[in-house]
């Protein structure tokens, strides 16, 4: 196939433009240079027209997006818009579609602006819906407003485009509802008329604040003789002096666990990935100590080594001034009193056989030892009841955590432990 330059420079527009390269070939198999040139020019012209049309469409889209906020109230309902910025919309009596502000949402009306504080039914419903009493919610809201982590949502602040920020009252309610009932951020956005991204951002700050500042203030293990005696009181009445609590581990399901961590987070008791936590609770179901989250495949013997309170008891660095007396038999079979020092915990048979961890006797034929084991098991149910209270009150611990990072899952656990301890 040979094409001369003189033929390419020819400008004959009288011929019919070919649609493909096949139409540029004559009967002898030679390429007509004029037709081939017209084909190249038409293809280049079509590409330029497509680029111009695409640029015009993008420019028109940006113009409509910039004017959408000012013309939303004037547009009729039947007008099809390209993008809606508001979360919740409503139609007024004139048929105009308007954006619902968060200050007129149902939660803001019932729980923030006009709470019926004289009604017992209101307090019961508020406790059932948000898992904390209304008075505790108001105290929590005051602490949130004083914290520096939530400066961007304080009254009078504006966002990056100059709009008013979402009310802190509704954001705190959204965080409590997400923990208490496991609602998604999309459900909370529909209920509060606040953007889903704003709620998500606030929730991450909320659990970071609850798992650090508040957790260290309210979840404290006994460190001196006075606090140890307060935790030991019920156990001493039950015939177990020196005991300050019962200990066990529990699992919290993870819905979005990384594939590379899946095998470590698959437990034998659960069909899904989970994190395991160790808890020490007293007889009044108050949580004294808890560990960070660890892979669900770890057993109790591995997990207890990461509990600072338990390891301090074992190493003898805490509660060594606590003394108590136990009955024993001397060499002649007489009953004597033995004075002991330190504190110990009630555990099950899956834990270490340490002096500070007393499990029930596993195999015995003596009636006295069987009765002691049964009595110890009945007292050790405190920590089991604490697990039920935690997962019954904060349904996210039972239904499963939907966040990706393990650090956020541990923060959710500590935040729920903090509110269960003090509310």
pLDDT digits (tens, 9 = 90+) for 140-199: 999 999 998 899 888 888 877 777 888 999 999 999 999 999 999 999 999 998 989 999
Residues 414 and 290 sit within 8 Å (Cβ to Cβ): yes
First to last CA, the chain: 89
* E strand intervals along 210-273: 243-253
Closest CA to 68 of 134, 157, 161, 3: 161
Confidence at residue 345, expressed as pLDDT on a 0 to 100 scale: 94
Question: Domain coordinates of the chain in residue numbers?
Answer: 5-64, 102-217, 221-422
Distance CA 130, CA 191 (A): 14
Q: Give Cα 367 distance to the centre of its chain.
A: 49
Residues 85 and 101 sit within 8 Å (Cβ to Cβ): no
pLDDT above 80: residue 22: no
Q: What is the pLDDT of residues 371-407, one digit of tens each?
A: 989 999 999 999 999 999 999 999 999 889 999 899 9
Q: What is the pLDDT of residues 310-369, one digit of tens each?
A: 999 999 998 999 999 888 888 787 888 889 999 999 999 989 989 999 999 988 888 988
């Amino acid at each position: 196939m040979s094409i001369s330059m003189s033929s390419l420079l020819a400008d004959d527009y009288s011929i019919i433009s070919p649609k493909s390269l096949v139409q540029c070939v004559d009967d002898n198999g030679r390429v007509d240079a004029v037709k081939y040139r017209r084909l190249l020019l038409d293809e280049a012209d079509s590409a330029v027209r497509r680029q111009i049309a695409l640029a015009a469409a993008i420019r028109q889209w940006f113009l409509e997006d910039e004017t959408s906020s000012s013309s939303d109230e004037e547009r009729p309902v039947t007008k099809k818009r390209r993008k809606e910025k508001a979360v919740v919309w409503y139609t007024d009596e004139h048929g105009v579609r308007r954006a619902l502000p968060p200050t007129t949402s149902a939660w803001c009306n019932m729980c923030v602006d006009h709470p019926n504080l004289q009604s017992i039914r209101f307090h019961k419903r508020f406790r059932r819906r948000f898992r904390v009493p209304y008075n505790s919610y108001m105290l929590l809201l005051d602490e949130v407003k004083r914290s520096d982590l939530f400066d961007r949502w304080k009254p009078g602040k504006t966002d990056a485009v100059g709009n008013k920020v979402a009310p802190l009252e509704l954001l705190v309610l959204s965080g409590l509802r997400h923990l208490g009932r496991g609602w998604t951020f999309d459900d909370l956005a529909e209920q509060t008329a606040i953007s889903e991204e704003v709620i998500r951002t606030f929730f991450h700050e909320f659990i970071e604040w609850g798992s650090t500042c508040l957790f260290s203030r309210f979840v404290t293990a006994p460190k001196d003789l006075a606090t140890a005696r307060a935790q030991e009181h019920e156990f001493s009445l039950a015939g177990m002096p020196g005991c300050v609590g019962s200990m066990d581990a529990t699992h919290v399901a993870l819905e979005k666990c990384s594939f590379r961590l899946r095998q470590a987070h698959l437990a034998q008791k659960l069909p899904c990935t989970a994190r395991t936590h160790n808890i020490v609770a007293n007889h009044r179901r108050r949580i004294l100590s808890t560990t960070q989250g660890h892979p669900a495949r770890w057993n109790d013997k591995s997990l207890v080594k990461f509990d600072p309170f338990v390891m301090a008891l074992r190493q003898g660095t805490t509660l060594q001034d606590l003394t108590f007396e136990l009955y024993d038999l001397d060499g002649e079979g007489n009953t004597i009193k033995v004075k002991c020092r330190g504190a110990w915990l009630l555990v099950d048979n899956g834990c270490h056989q340490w002096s500070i961890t007393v499990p029930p006797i596993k195999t015995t034929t003596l009636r006295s030892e069987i009765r002691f084991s049964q009595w110890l098991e009945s007292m050790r149910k405190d920590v089991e009841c604490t697990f039920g209270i935690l997962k019954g009150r904060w349904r996210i611990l039972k239904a499963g955590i939907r966040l990706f990072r393990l650090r956020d899952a541990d923060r959710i656990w500590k935040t729920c432990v903090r509110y269960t301890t003090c509310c």
